[in-house]
Amino acid sequence: MENNSCIRKEADLNQIKRCKEQLSEVEEAVGALTDKLSLVSNSVRLKILYVLQAEERLCVCDLSDILNMTIPAVSQHLRKLKDRDFVKSEKEGQTIFYSLRDDHRELLAPFFNLLNRQPEAI
């Protein structure tokens, strides 16, 4: 990617410059946002977040049953969600309960709202 010879004769160079500047300002924010969205854009993880929002807390075993998935599969999703501060865990005996953290409620709120409407709304 060096041969930028493609630029049209009629290209608006000011527009291109402006876009580059605008993008450079949000570069970091774009990375932070897509990092989080890539977690939420998985249907299993979105379901986990959705039920946790409704139920306060659930253990790995509960989620495995609810989602009809193996324990390790669920556990691996939970780890990703925990690593990115979407959920927290608390141990009680040998059971580990997961619950939503407040960190990303603002990001998640519009999604939960959409889900609670008709599917056509999306």
What's the CA gap between 4 and 60, in Å, rounded? 51
State the binding string over 6-25 for a second copy (x if CB under 8 A, else -): xxx-xxx--xx-xxx-xx--
Residues contacting residue 66 through CB under 8 Å, at least 6 positions apart: 51, 58
CA 61/CA 75 separation, integer angstroms: 9
Sites of contact with a second copy (CB under 8 A) = 1, 4, 6-8, 10-12, 15-16, 18-20, 22-23, 26, 28-34, 36-38, 40-43, 46-47, 50-51, 54-55, 58-59, 61-62, 64-71, 95, 107, 110-111, 114-119, 121-122
